[in-house]
Amino acid sequence: MPITPATAAHSSSSGTAEAILLELVDENGVTIGTEEKLTAHQPPGLLHRAFSVFLFDERGRLLLQQRALGKYHSPGVWSNTCCGHPYPGEAPFAAAARRTFEELGVSPTLMAEAGTVRYNHPDPASGLVEQEYNHLFVGMVQSALRPDPEEVGDTAFVTPAELAERHAKDTFSAWFMTVLDAARPAVRELTGPSAGW
> Catalytic site residue 82?
no
SS (H, E, C) the chain: CCCCCCCCCEECCCCCEECCEEEEECCCCCEEEEEEHHHHCCCCCCCEEEEEEEEECCCCCEEEEEECCCCCCCCCCEECCEEECCCCCCCHHHHHHHHHHHHHCCCCEEEEEEEEEEEEEECCCCCCEEEEEEEEEEEECCCCCCCCCCCEEEEEEECHHHHHHHHHHCCECCCHHHHHHHHHHHHHHHHCHHHCC
* Catalytic residue list contains 132: yes
C-beta separation of 1 from 19 below 8 A? no
Catalytic-labelled residue, pool 23, 103, 130, 132: 132
* Catalytic residue (one of 82, 83, 130, 151): 83
The Cα–Cα gap between 114 and 184 comes to 8
Closest C-alpha to 180, from 140, 133, 128, 137: 137
Hey, which residues are catalytic here? Answer: 83, 132
